[in-house]
Amino acid sequence: MNKQDIKKLDQEKIIGTYGRYDMAADSGKGAVCTDTDGKEYIDFTAGIGVNSLGFCDDGWVKAVTAQLKKLQHVSNLFYTEPQVRVADILTERTGMKKAFFSNSGAEANEVAIKTARKYSNNKYGNDINWILTLENSFHGRTMATITATGQDHYHKDFYPFMGHFSYCKPDDIEDLEKKVTDKTCAVMLEIVQGEGGVVNLQKDFVKAVEDLCHRKDMVFIVDEVQTGIGRTGKLFAYEYFDVKPDIVTFAKGIGGGLPIGGALFSEKVCDVLKPGNHGTTYGGNPVACAGALEVLKRLDDDFLREVEEKGAYMKEKLSAIPEVASVSGMGLMLGVELKEKKAKDVVAKALSNGLMALTAKEKIRLLPPLTITYDEINRGLKILEDVLK
């Protein structure tokens, strides 16, 4: 099918929840995507931070197809090796105790919310069940996770919500202390607010959240769905801030393109959920876990250092463009604030010139594959610079 046929059928047959860009992707290799007309694009999106090793990485394809030929799925009522191996690597590398696997980021946050409420319920009774999140946050699109999301425009049209969520201002310790009450059981935050416009949190605020959670025996949840799995140059972005969450959620980058998410639990909360309390048919599926194992195998210290270096290189180059007002983010998760031009228009023009990029609020958001080469970075930046001129 050509792009026009695909577009027409899409508009007729798929509900209109996505404002899609005018491109039909057909194939890809590394950081280069090819559309149905054979046109090539440098990819600064990685499927919104999903394709950590780029398109169709050889090692990843081999690992996934080998698993596919062996066992594609079995119920979570049985044990499987790929799932325990992913859990083993993640817990060994973080010092967390146990894992749970879901299929997406929203579901990862659901299990975190349920665990926090049950932890508090077990210890203090039913009453202490409020979850505090941050204004401008994003935690997903299920009913619980849009409630957790501190942005009104995701809420309108979908009332009523489940209740007992409250929101405090990012980086405002005074507001944090005011909003945490005797009924609060958990605080959940992103280290860099991705959908909120690539907004970095300050270390002293994140440390204050950790400290308050410890003092009041609340559950400290870090949502690393976008920042995790090497995206910022560490396995998890919280490592930059010298804190120890009780629950870390992840998704996107871990499967390298296959749907898998999950949560890691510290000693304090790792035995809260019991058989029957939570579950999912597909979570931790062997094929998705085979992809995750390959991603994690590649993300060693040298690889992560390179992510940090490539991020610093891009930040420096972007900051030098006269039209750019500022660059936020960490590692290969970057937000570009423009002086005058609209990010939406720039991203659309860049696409027609052969660069895939994203927006987040009023910024251009860049999430290239972690394996992107300097040559590909330079080619993408040149397109962006030309559009911005």
Ligand X SMILES: Cc1ncc(COP(=O)(O)O)c(C=O)c1O
- The residues binding ligand X (CB under 6 A) are 104-106, 109, 138-140, 190, 194-195, 223, 225-226, 251
In the complex, minimum distance from the CB of residue 336 to ligand X, in angstroms, rounded to a whole number: 18
Which CB atom, from 50 or from 324, has the smaller least distance to ligand X? 50
Which CB atom, from 251 or from 263, has the smaller least distance to ligand X? 251
- With tokens 């140059």, the residue in question is 233
DSSP 202: P
In the complex, minimum distance from the CB of residue 385 to ligand X, in angstroms, rounded to a whole number: 27
Q: Which residue is nearest to ligand X (CB)?
A: 105
- Contact between residue 45 and residue 355 where contact means Cβ atoms under 8 Å apart: no
Q: Which amino acid, 233?
A: G
In the complex, minimum distance from the CB of residue 150 to ligand X, in angstroms, rounded to a whole number: 12
In the complex, minimum distance from the CB of residue 280 to ligand X, in angstroms, rounded to a whole number: 13
Distance CA 68, CA 288 (A): 10
Which CB atom, from 50 or from 270, has the smaller least distance to ligand X? 50
Which CB atom, from 108 or from 336, has the smaller least distance to ligand X? 108
In the complex, minimum distance from the CB of residue 298 to ligand X, in angstroms, rounded to a whole number: 21
Q: Which residues of 326-350 are buried (b: 16+ CB within 10 A; e: fewer)?
A: ebbbbbbbbbbbbeeeebeebbbbb
DSSP per-residue codes, 293-319: HHHHHH--HHHHHHHHHHHHHHHHHHH
- Contact between residue 261 and residue 251 where contact means Cβ atoms under 8 Å apart: yes
Using DSSP, state whether 93 is helix, strand or coil.
helix
In the complex, minimum distance from the CB of residue 107 to ligand X, in angstroms, rounded to a whole number: 7
Instruction: Give Rg (Cα) of the chain.
Output: 21
Which CB atom, from 54 or from 105, has the smaller least distance to ligand X? 105
Tokens read off for 63: 């690992």
Distance CA 206, CA 202 (A): 7
Which CB atom, from 187 or from 251, has the smaller least distance to ligand X? 251
